[in-house]
Amino acid sequence: MTSFPAKALAVMLLAGLAGCGSGEYQPQAIPPANPEPPVTPEPPATPPIAPPVTPPVTPPVTPPVTPPVTPPKPQFPPMVLLWNHCAKPRSGLDPNGYPHPDVQGTLDDERNFLRNWIDELYLWYKEVPADLVAADYSNPVDYFNLLKTPLLTPGGRPKDRFHFSYPSDQYAEMAKGLNLGYGAAWAQNSGGGAPRIWRLTGVEAGSVADQAGLRRGDQLLTADGEDFVSGTGAALVAKLNAALFPVKEGEQHRFTLQRGAAVLDVTLTSGKVATSPVRAVQVLDTPAGKVGYLVFNEHIATSENLLIKAVTQFKQAGVSDLVLDMRYNGGGQLSIAAELAYMIAGPARTAGKTFELTVGNDKLKPKAPNPFRATALGYPAPDPAKPGQALPSLDLKRVAILTGPGTCSASESVINGLRGVDVEVSLIGGTTCGKPYAFTPQPNCGVTYFSIQYQGVNDKGFGDYADGFAPTCRVADDFSHALGDPAESQLSAALHYRATGSCPAPPRGGRVKAGGAEPAAATMVPVRPLGKEISILD
């Protein structure tokens, strides 16, 4: 805002006053007889008149003129200048009701954004092939898929197995726990090729799969009349995929499943299904005391208050141990993992300790450590926790966790974080997936990209488990029992190990053993999108 000063003009008027007589009569004096001659007084001496001295005039001092300072332009990475500059900008609102941020750009803008984003934030940016030519890819996603390290882990697996993308609207619904399908969760044999073995790991209560009578352990035989187990050929595989992975609501597909000697024929209609991340919460009475058990399948917003309620139930029941079933948990929000780890270990073990420190590439400033969280964040959910509420804790010195190749990312952070503060963590089941990495999803022009940005380490500085955590007792998944049944193989082995300190004898030729490699026939891997195998930084 500019101001203009005003001139003040003042005029001082000086008035002089003159004195006068009274105006009364005065008698005259009589002169003497011999008057002396009058004396003419000397005229008063007139002092010399000095010329007025004019004080020297000091010229006004003009302050130096300071040229205006132009503030420096902020130095943004190039990716920020290209963000949301799209070859085909979207209009309208996103699933959350906000306007899309897209502005008109070009295909080059989208590809250059990805390259610059990778160069700035990707953990292994130095290993990305330098000879990729962006102009060779008409689809930015195809270009992005190659912007990763080609190196291998010490175990021979690709170093980066978690580089992927999703349509942004689809990912927004996944993050809320909504999935398009039938409410059925599957596990498949390693490799996934023919002969294919797919078995139900569980169904969502109230879903069409549940209403059709499907249950854990059912094996898939046909889809829309096609041989699912042994069928081959591109056309047949396309039909199988169309049946198993519908792309819109209201699709109807036929399936044949086997349960023991029985064969089930069902027709399922696709829809959006809300997942239940916490289930089968129960207190088991054992000769050595009460043991809490729960199935935890996903670190999403709706899980926060469900976990708080489960731990509160265990605390009120006076449990002395916990069996945490995360064999199908692919991960999610690291902050929820930090809350869960606190509720297991308690304040005495975790005060002032780091749950996970995420370490980025050499271009990034170090991040503050993620602490064990003693209060709820209050994620939005149908039944949310109150932000800032104190979390309950079991104050356990040990915990048994049921694991498998589906135990991934934020779930592995729970294991590593607890071991970092000397909680004895026994793993019962199979080797975990091996993802000590985290990222922040990056949307751009209708696509959300996922690229590894950080490696997580615990309070002791350990985070080297890219080939997974090996189990204490190796136990194959048991599809013949419901989860939470004390006779189910992994839960039974966990209770045995708790009571004796040793793994149970392997039944029927080696389904349970300590260490060693897992039999290929026993390895069943959850069927799920990569977007379910993540550690997300808030």
DSSP 8-state class, residue 233: S
CA-based R_g, the chain, Å: 41
Q: What is the pLDDT of residues 480-527, one digit of tens each?
A: 999 999 999 999 999 999 999 999 987 654 444 444 444 444 589 999
The CA–CA distances, whole Å, from 495 to 235, 323, 473, 486 equal 47, 8, 12, 8
Q: How many CA atoms lie within 13 Å of 106's alpha carbon, on the beta-carbon side? A: 5
Instruction: Return the H-helix or E-strand segment holding 466.
Output: none
The strand pair at 354-359 and 370-371 is best described as antiparallel
The CA–CA distances, whole Å, from 518 to 22, 426, 465, 470, 478 equal 137, 17, 17, 10, 14
Residue whose tokens read 């979207």:
90
Q: At what angle do helices 303-317 and 334-345 cross, to 10 degrees?
A: 10
Residue whose tokens read 């964040």:
377
**Burial 65-80, CB ≥16 within 10 A → b, else e:** eeeeeeeeeeeeeebe
Q: What is the pLDDT of residues 141-158, one digit of tens each?
A: 999 999 999 999 888 889
Question: Residue 65: which pLDDT band, with cuts at 50, 70 and 90?
Answer: low
Q: Can you read off the two tokens belonging to residue 317?
A: 């029941």
Long-range CB pairs of 312-316, under 8 A, 24+ apart, other chains included = 312/392, 313/281, 313/283, 314/283, 314/394, 315/392, 315/393, 315/394
Residue whose tokens read 């699933």:
95
Q: What is the mean pLDDT of residues 25-35?
A: 39
Q: What is the mean pLDDT of residues 459-488?
A: 96
Q: What is the mean pLDDT of residues 387-409?
A: 97
Residue type present at position 12: M
Residue 279 has pLDDT above 50, yes or no: yes
For residue 536, give the 3-state DSSP assignment. strand
- How many other C-beta atoms can be found within 10 angstroms of the C-beta atom of residue 482? 14
**Burial 493-524, CB ≥16 within 10 A → b, else e:** bbbbbbeeeebbebeeeebbbeeeebeeeebb
Among 256, 264, 260, 175, residue whose Cα is nearest residue 220: 256
**Burial 406-433, CB ≥16 within 10 A → b, else e:** bbbbbbbbbbbbbbbbebebbbbbbbbb
DSSP per residue, 163-183: -EEEEHHHHHHHHTTEEEE-S
Q: Mean pLDDT check: name the lowest of 23-27, 313-317, 511-515.
A: 23-27
Question: Residue 403: which pLDDT band, with cuts at 50, 70 and 90?
Answer: very high
Question: Residue 27: which pLDDT band, with cuts at 50, 70 and 90?
Answer: very low
- Which residues, in sequence order, are bridge partners of residue 256? 222, 265
Residue 533 has pLDDT above 70, yes or no: no
Please name the residues in contact with 398: beta carbons below 8 A apart, sequence gap of 6 or more. 321, 423, 424, 425, 426
Q: What pLDDT is recorded for position 66? A: 61
Q: What pLDDT is recorded for position 513? A: 44
- Which residues, in sequence order, are bridge partners of residue 299? 332
Q: What pLDDT is recorded for position 58? A: 53
Q: What is the pLDDT of residues 96-114, one digit of tens each?
A: 788 999 999 999 999 999 9
Contact in structure between 388 and 373 (CB atoms under 8 Å) = no
Q: Can you read off the two tokens belonging to residue 522?
A: 């026993």
Q: pLDDT exceeding 90 applies to what percent of the chain? A: 74
Question: Residue 450: which pLDDT band, with cuts at 50, 70 and 90?
Answer: very high
Q: Mean pLDDT check: name the lowest of 21-30, 293-302, 415-424, 467-476.
A: 21-30
Residue 35 has pLDDT above 60, yes or no: no
Q: Can you read off the two tokens belonging to residue 407?
A: 């135990």
Q: What pLDDT is recorded for position 57? A: 54
Residue whose tokens read 């010490």:
154
Q: What is the pLDDT of residues 333-385, one digit of tens each?
A: 999 999 999 999 999 999 999 999 999 999 999 999 999 999 999 999 999 99
Question: Residue 174: which pLDDT band, with cuts at 50, 70 and 90?
Answer: confident
Residue 124 has pLDDT above 50, yes or no: yes
Q: What is the mean pLDDT of the chain?
A: 86
Among 121, 161, 102, 165, residue whose Cα is nearest residue 358: 121
Give the rounded distance of the alpha carbon of 308 from its chain centre. Answer: 20
Q: What pLDDT is recorded for position 76? A: 66
Residue type present at position 367: K
Q: What is the pLDDT of residues 214-269, one digit of tens each?
A: 999 999 999 999 999 999 999 999 999 999 999 999 999 999 999 999 999 999 99
DSSP per residue, 281-311: EEEEEETTEEEEEEEE--BSTTHHHHHHHHH
Give CA–CA dist 327/290, Å, rounded.
22
Q: What pLDDT is recorded for position 102? A: 97
Question: Residue 194: which pLDDT band, with cuts at 50, 70 and 90?
Answer: confident
Residue 21 has pLDDT above 60, yes or no: no
Angle at the Cα of 77 from the Cα atoms of 76 and 79, rounded to 5 degrees:
120
Q: What pLDDT is recorded for position 55? A: 55
**Backbone φ, ψ for residue 363 (5° rounding):** -90, -15
Q: What is the pLDDT of residues 130-144, one digit of tens each?
A: 999 999 999 999 999
Among 245, 252, 285, 284, residue whose Cα is nearest residue 268: 252
